[in-house]
Amino acid sequence: MGKDKLRRFAEFSSFENCFDFPRYLKGKWHSDYFKNNHPIVLELGCGKGEYTVALSEAFPEKNFIGIDLKSNRMWVGAKKAIEANRNNVAFIRMVIEKLAEHFEKGEVSEIWITFPDPFPKDRHDKHRLTHQRFLKLYKEVIHDDGVLHFKTDDDGLFDFTCELFEQLRIKPIQLDRDVHNSETVDSYVKNIRTHYENLFSAKGRKIKYLSFKLPAQLEEPVSKA
Ligand SMILES: C[S@@+](CC[C@H](N)C(=O)[O-])C[C@H]1O[C@@H](n2cnc3c(N)ncnc32)[C@H](O)[C@@H]1O
């Protein structure tokens, strides 16, 4: 492993806005870390945390937490937040699958899913972050009225998600298949661009966006067989 990566790993753990699998904060993020009652917004698979940091500037009245497995990537966002004196930002190194071990039901108000790995093979569909398995997980932590945001360059993943939502009777709040040329999406959807978003749009791929709420009951999808 490179020296720079090792240094970032070590620094991540020492930053006051960074945490490794902090199960002890479950249900206590407001009281023990943010020390306010502002809504908590998560970015899942945040990479370098562009959304987490940019949204924290745009919405100082909300708290933001970036989540990823790779602390050397989150180091970039964590350092930016520290240098900008942003006290409404944190980063957690953990696996998304363990969300419910880290947050109480209702502790989270919004979730961003930004450019997740598409897992193009059908047999790997359960690993897609918009698979029903993950929607159930998000439901365990998000407020009943909470909004989820999903951005991707990947047509297959976007189509899979739209089809699943139809089967589950989840109505999109907003759906756009070409965000960068859209006149209707909010500026924070169009203008905040992640590392992967820049890579993919430079290759000419259209960036797609979907926002939605989870229904009270997540019904089983209708089988195609
Ligand atoms: C394609 S990258 C996108 C990063 C960032 N959102 C962006 O748009 O630049 C996917 C990210 O998800 C993280 N990731 C993948 N599976 C994960 C999991 N199960 N738990 C936590 N992070 C995960 C990876 O480490 C990686 O940083």
Measured CA to CA, the distance from residue 66 to residue 46 in angstroms comes to 5
Q: Is residue 223 part of a domain?
A: no
Higher model confidence: residue 1 or residue 72? Answer: 72
Gap from CA of 215 to ligand 1 centroid (Å): 26
**Domain annotation covers residue 196:** yes
117 is catalytic: yes
- Terminal alpha carbon distance of the chain: 47
Q: Number of folded domains in the chain? A: 1
Tokens of residue 133, six digits: 């398995």
User: Which pair of structure tokens corresponds to residue 58?
Assistant: 């745009």
168 Cα–ligand 1 center, Å: 25
Q: Is residue 219 part of a domain?
A: no
Residue 223 has pLDDT above 60, yes or no: no
- Examine residue 30 and state whether it is found in any structural domain, yes or no: yes
What six digits make up the tokens of 55? 């949204």
Q: Find out whether the beta carbon of 77 lies less than 6 Å from any atom of ligand 1.
A: no
The beta strands (E) that lie in 69-139 are given as 89-93, 108-114
Does some domain include residue 225?
no
Pairing of strands 63-68, 40-44: parallel
pTM (predicted TM-score): 0.96
The atom of ligand 1 lying closest to the CA of 94 is 21
Res 2 pLDDT > 70: yes
| 111 belongs to a structural domain | yes
Ligand 1 pocket, residue 199 CB under 6 Å: no
Does a structural domain hold residue 158?
Answer: yes
Q: Which domain holds residue 40?
A: 3-213
Q: Which whole number is the average pLDDT over 143-172?
A: 97
d(CA 138, CA 218): 11
- Whether 62 maps to a domain, the answer reads yes
CA of 77 to the centre of ligand 1 (A): 14
Nearest atom, ligand 1, residue 114 CA: 6
SS3 104: coil
Q: Which run of H or of E encompasses 148?
A: strand 142-152
Condensed to tens digits (0 to 9), the pLDDT of residues 117-145 reads: 999 999 999 999 999 999 999 999 999 99
CB of 68 closer than 6 angstroms to any ligand 1 atom: yes
Strands, E assignment, 153-206: 174-176
Q: What is the CATH number of the domain that holds 152?
A: 3.40.50.150
What are the pLDDT digits (tens) for 98-108? 999 999 999 99
Alpha-carbon torsion, ordered 141, 143, 145, 150, to 10 deg: -40
